[in-house]
Amino acid sequence: MSKRNSRYGIWLFVVYLAFYGGFVLLAAFSPATMARTPWAGVNLAIWYGFALIAAALLLALLYGYLCRIEVVGTNNSNSEPGRPAPGARDASSANASTQTGGHQ
Amino acid sequence: MNHEPSTLAIGIFLAMVGVTLGISFYLGRKAKDSAGYFAAHGQIPWFVNGVAFAGDYLSAASFLGICGMIAFYGYDGFLYSIGYLAGWIVALFVVAEPMKRLGKFTFADALNAKFNSPGIKLAAGVSTLAVSVFYLIPQMVGAGVLVRPLLGLPHWAGVVLVGAVVIVIVVTAGMVSTTWVQFIKGGLLVAFSTVLTVMILQRGFHAEPQLPAAQTIVKQADGTVLVNGLPKGNSPGEGQLQPVGSISKLPGGVEKTGPLGPLEFFSTLEQSEVVLWSKSEVKGDDGSTTSTFSPKPTPGSQILQPGASPTFAGIRSEKFSDKLNFLSLMLALFCGTASLPHILIRYYTVKDEAAARKSTIVGIACIGFFYVLTLYMGLGAMTSGALDVTDSNMAAPLLARSMSELLFAIISAIAFTTVLGTVSGLILASAGAVTHDLLESVTTVHLTDHQRVRIAKMAAVVVGVVAILLGIAFKELNVSYLVGWAFSVAASANLPALVMLLFWRGTTKEGIIVAVLVGMISSLGWILLSGDTYAAVYGLPKENSIVPFSQPGIVTIPLGFLTLIVVSLLTGGRSPASPAPSRT
């Protein structure tokens, strides 16, 4: 994982953690809020639960989109200026880890 | 409740198991070396691997346990859905790419990439084995649950059957066939759950204003069983429990709703009155035990809120320790996914980090969609009139039976083969840990590639037999509840070491070893001393338990992190200084 991917990952993780933490704390300490029906006769517990599932997918897609440049760079010559070819780096990294692991 | 086996169900079930075994044998022929047997040579396409993630993850706990818990108590089962899915965020954003880059066959590979320490391999190998065996228990319990209505066999027979088939699969095949089997089953499970949900919405709700009668089971001292006052059996003059699950009042006093939209389904239930069932048990002076199941009309608004089940009662309790129990479980679910050995090894079956990332996104899409469906299926089962009041795990297959015998046969067969696949993955992860981690850390004898695969297969047989025995012993517990414990152990033992290795340069090998062992032992110890284990396993009063609440995560996960930091600081000068692997 490049530094950039790692940074994106951590930020998106923090966003989701806050959203998930809000759900858990609301359920634990304010169940009456969860029982309210803000829209379409469906209560907040269901809306929030579905929103958490939808948010997981949206953030995952956003992460994939943000990290896509590296993938493009791997497959053709349009890599970012001043960057080593990521595919080459990944391969060498994988080989290095294989050796470090001491298998075979 | 009586479960008559149907010829159609048995036929489809046997066909599905036959196809699974056929794929395993066919693809297993190509996996003769370690790289093929344990990691499919890293050649699985990312989309296939992503759906296989869903096949691995949507196990007995998700399909049987969550649907069962929703069917019996309402919204609470959906809390598991939310927690299980949220865990994938940790897997994608923190773990996926480094796991692929650092490891080769096992979780220990990744932990040990920086240090090359036999101690880390030993600790991580033991932890993998412990988590896998713990996770195997609910899968085996789920297998036992499925064969009762499907084949009319007792619980233990289902456990032995699935154990035997899985041992055959794992011994003859490997990661290639396991992955393709999981891909097919994951796809089928999501597709047929969608069909079931559409049928639930099409059927809508109907009201049965007359409250059903209470039901009793009396187990007498001499071993005979009376059901509703009659000897248990199917003949005239004998008794069986009646299927349950009804709505006593619909909004506006109507008798039927007709087809419902996805939101209308919830808003209608919110204003309805549903008949839930409570259980009470009395021991007589003559040694008999009487279990009484009583109907309990409950407002739909209460069913659609968290906190109705015993597992999540802490939400509505005033006691702080009860609330901590809930927070602890939700933390373990969030942290556990990225620590499960059979999920982590799936990152080695794709070619690179980008493929690992993409397959995780596909997995999240499939799994998230399925978890939305669990709420419809669970609530559909609750009002289906088909529930077995003694067994929450059977709710989803019995819901399918209330729709059509064919759907029941297909759903049950898919669920059963999903259990097969998950158990195969877990046993494969255990076999890998024994061969690559434990054996290499305790012996200096060089093994050939062929010997490694042979030892792994022998380990698979032993783990399979252990899983069968545990599956029979723990049959009374809800499978989702058992999985919650497995997540706690995985998160406490594995996550602190993995995260700190990636993000803290000061991590030492001693820190990793001690953190893995402390996390594993403390979480296992906490579970064994908890009130729920006292009541469900030892048969002792819950109040006598030593620990203040049953879910260990909120204590043992931070304890793992703290242990790693303290030990690393104490031993920092002795480890070779090299850059943390994440800072590439």
Closest by CA position to A104, among listed B453, B463, B96, B16: B453
Contact between B301 and A101 using a beta-carbon 8 Å cutoff? no
CA–CA separation, A3 vs A97, rounded Å?
18
Q: How far lies B380's CA from each of A42, B43, B200, in Å?
A: 16, 41, 6
Contact between A28 and B314 using a beta-carbon 8 Å cutoff? yes
* B136-140, B198-202, B349-353, B545-549, range with the lowest pLDDT: B349-353
CA–CA separation, A53 vs B81, rounded Å?
9
pLDDT score of B526 more than 50? yes
Q: CA B519 from chain center: how many Å?
A: 21
Angle at B309 between CA B305 and CA B312, to 5 degrees: 80
B156 versus B299: the higher-pLDDT residue is B299
Mean pLDDT of chain B: 83
Contact between A1 and B98 using a beta-carbon 8 Å cutoff? yes
The band of B34, judged by pLDDT with boundaries at 50, 70 and 90, is low
* A40-44, A99-103, B575-579, range with the lowest pLDDT: A99-103
pLDDT at residue B577 in the model: 43
pLDDT score of B224 more than 80? yes
pLDDT score of B364 more than 50? yes
Domains of chain B, each with CATH number or no CATH: 7-203+340-472 (1.20.1730.10), 215-302 (no CATH)
What average pLDDT score do residues B298-308 get?
Answer: 91
Model confidence pLDDT, tens digit, residues A68-95: 765 444 444 333 333 433 333 333 333 3
The band of B32, judged by pLDDT with boundaries at 50, 70 and 90, is low
Asked if A74 has any chain B CB less than 8 Å from its own CB, the reply is: yes
Tell the residue number behind the tokens 């152990």, with chain if given.
B489
Residues 6 or more apart whose CB falls under 8 angstroms from that of A82 comprise none
pLDDT score of B164 more than 90? no
Percent of the residues in chain A that have a pLDDT greater than 90, as a whole number? 39
The band of B63, judged by pLDDT with boundaries at 50, 70 and 90, is confident
Contact between B92 and A60 using a beta-carbon 8 Å cutoff? yes
Model confidence pLDDT, tens digit, residues A11-21: 999 999 999 99
CA-based radius of gyration for chain A: 21
Provide the number of CB pairs (under 8 Å) joining chain A to chain B.
Answer: 165
Model confidence pLDDT, tens digit, residues B250-263: 998 888 998 999 99
pLDDT at residue B579 in the model: 42
Domain of residue A64 covers: 3-101
Nearest Cβ partner of A2 from B82, B371, B584?
Answer: B584
pLDDT at residue B511 in the model: 93
Asked if A63 has any chain B CB less than 8 Å from its own CB, the reply is: yes
CA–CA separation, B456 vs B178, rounded Å?
15
Nearest Cβ partner of B353 from A1, A52, A60?
Answer: A1
Q: Which of the listed ranges A59-68, B130-139, B173-182, B193-202 does the model predict with the highest average pLDDT? A: B193-202
Contact between A27 and B372 using a beta-carbon 8 Å cutoff? no
The band of A97, judged by pLDDT with boundaries at 50, 70 and 90, is very low
What average pLDDT score do residues B508-537 get?
Answer: 89
The band of B5, judged by pLDDT with boundaries at 50, 70 and 90, is low
pLDDT at residue B408 in the model: 85
pTM of the predicted model as reported, rounded to 2 decimal places: 0.84
What average pLDDT score do residues B316-325 get?
Answer: 86
pLDDT at residue B544 in the model: 85
pLDDT at residue B213 in the model: 86
Q: How far is A19 from chain B (nearest CA, A)?
A: 10
Q: How far is B398 from chain A (nearest CA, A)?
A: 24
Name the amino acid, one letter, at B113: A
B455 versus B304: the higher-pLDDT residue is B304
CA–CA separation, B274 vs B39, rounded Å?
49
Q: How far lies B403's CA from each of A7, B199, B576, in Å?
A: 49, 8, 64
Contact between A45 and B88 using a beta-carbon 8 Å cutoff? no
Q: Which residues of A touch B357 (CB under 8 A)?
A: 5, 63-64, 67
pLDDT at residue B261 in the model: 93
B85 versus B35: the higher-pLDDT residue is B85
Chain B residue whose CA is closest to A96 = B102
A42-45 long-range contacts, CB within 8 A, separation 24+: A42/B263, A42/B266, A42/B267, A42/B270, A43/B266, A43/B270, A43/B301, A43/B304, A43/B305, A45/B75, A45/B304, A45/B305, A45/B306
Interface of A with B in 9-38 (CB under 8 A): 9-10, 12-13, 16-17, 20, 23-24, 27-29, 31, 34-35, 37
What average pLDDT score do residues B357-380 get?
Answer: 93
What average pLDDT score do residues B367-372 get?
Answer: 94
**Element containing residue B266 per DSSP (H, E):** helix B262-270
CA–CA separation, B315 vs B300, rounded Å?
18
The band of A49, judged by pLDDT with boundaries at 50, 70 and 90, is very high
Q: Which residues of A touch B353 (CB under 8 A)?
A: 1, 90
Contact B439, B142 (CB under 8 A): no
pLDDT at residue A80 in the model: 39
Chain A residue whose CA is closest to B111 = A101
pLDDT at residue B246 in the model: 87
Model confidence pLDDT, tens digit, residues B395-417: 888 888 888 888 888 888 887 77
Asked if A71 has any chain B CB less than 8 Å from its own CB, the reply is: yes
Residues 6 or more apart whose CB falls under 8 angstroms from that of B362 comprise B46, B47, B49, B50, B51, B53
pLDDT at residue B478 in the model: 63
The dihedral built from the CA positions of residue B569, B573, B576 and B579, taken in this order, carries a sign that is: positive
CA–CA separation, B158 vs B156, rounded Å?
5
Q: At what angle do helices B405-432 and B449-473 cross, to 10 degrees?
A: 130
Pairing of strands B225-227, B230-231: antiparallel
For residue B390, the tally of other CB atoms under 10 A from its CB is 14
B195 versus B173: the higher-pLDDT residue is B195
Contact between B305 and A31 using a beta-carbon 8 Å cutoff? yes
Closest by CA position to B163, among listed B195, B133, B189, B191: B133
The band of B40, judged by pLDDT with boundaries at 50, 70 and 90, is low
**Element containing residue B283 per DSSP (H, E):** strand B273-283
Q: Is B385 left (phi over 0), alpha (psi -120 to 50) or beta?
A: left
Residues 6 or more apart whose CB falls under 8 angstroms from that of B79 comprise A27, B306, B312, B330
Distance between first and last Cα of chain A: 25
CA-based radius of gyration for chain B: 24
* A32-41, B163-172, B461-470, B572-581, range with the lowest pLDDT: B572-581
Contact between B109 and A103 using a beta-carbon 8 Å cutoff? yes
pLDDT at residue B1 in the model: 55
Q: CA B235 from chain center: how many Å?
A: 37
pLDDT at residue B521 in the model: 94
Residue B281: phi and psi, rounded to 5, are -130, 130
Contact between A101 and B306 using a beta-carbon 8 Å cutoff? no
Q: Which residues of A touch B266 (CB under 8 A)?
A: 41-43, 46
Pairing of strands B246-249, B273-283: antiparallel
* B138-152, B459-473, B485-499, range with the lowest pLDDT: B138-152
Nearest Cβ partner of B306 from A16, A34, A97?
Answer: A34
B111 versus A53: the higher-pLDDT residue is A53
* B67-76, B357-366, B548-557, B567-576, range with the lowest pLDDT: B567-576
B539 versus A48: the higher-pLDDT residue is A48
For residue B331, the tally of other CB atoms under 10 A from its CB is 23
Which of B46, B62, B93, B260 to probe by mutation at the A interface, max A CB count within 10 Å?
Answer: B93
**Count of domains for chain A:** 1
Chain B residue whose CA is closest to A50 = B372
pLDDT score of B9 more than 70? yes
Q: What is the dihedral of CA B316, B321, B327, B331, to 10 degrees?
A: -150
Angle at B274 between CA B411 and CA B65, to 5 degrees: 35
Q: Which residues of B touch A54 (CB under 8 A)?
A: 368
Contact between B326 and A28 using a beta-carbon 8 Å cutoff? yes
A81 versus B2: the higher-pLDDT residue is B2
pLDDT score of B147 more than 80? no
Q: What is the dihedral of CA B325, B326, B328, B333, to 10 degrees?
A: 140
